[in-house]
Amino acid sequence: KAGVTQTPRYLIKTRGQQVTLSCSPISGHRSVSWYQQTPGQGLQFLFEYFSETQRNKGNFPGRFSGRQFSNSRSEMNVSTLELGDSALYLCASSLGGELGTYEQYFGPGTRLTVT
């Protein structure tokens, strides 16, 4: 089975721009979660999508949004980028059920640098 894939792997943007990151989950997995990882804040949960609906949301501003398509692929969008948005963005998929009930499988991440 192919693992979780994320594109692009690296991205450089300037302040004020917007960015879209993509995640393809493991085949058959219906839950996709997004995390932000920074040296200062560690790993923080952004949101989770299940069956094309946002099911859970972390404590991030509305500039961070996402969506999930019928094939379970998910995209995350960040608008009006700020320097503090520089981070490794990780996507994780799991079979479903309640989030966190089962192990999550992570992609390699997208390294976003905002200048």
Q: Which residues bind another protein (CB under 8 A)?
A: 4, 33, 35, 42-45, 48, 55-56, 58, 88, 90, 92, 98-109, 111
Dig out the tokens for 72 from the structure.
């379970």
Q: In the sheet that 74-78 helps form, which strands lie side by side, from edge to edge?
A: 5-7, 19-24, 74-78, 64-68
Q: In the complex, what is the shortest distance from the CB of residue 62 to another protein, in angstroms, rounded to a whole number?
A: 18
Q: In the complex, what is the shortest distance from the CB of residue 19 to another protein, in angstroms, rounded to a whole number?
A: 19
By beta-carbon proximity to another protein, the closer residue of 3 and 16 is 3
Cβ neighbourhood burial of 74 (10 Å; 0-12, 13-18, 19+):
buried
By beta-carbon proximity to another protein, the closer residue of 90 and 114 is 90
User: Residue 108: is the preceding peptide bond cis (ω within 30°)?
Assistant: no
Q: In the complex, what is the shortest distance from the CB of residue 98 to another protein, in angstroms, rounded to a whole number?
A: 7
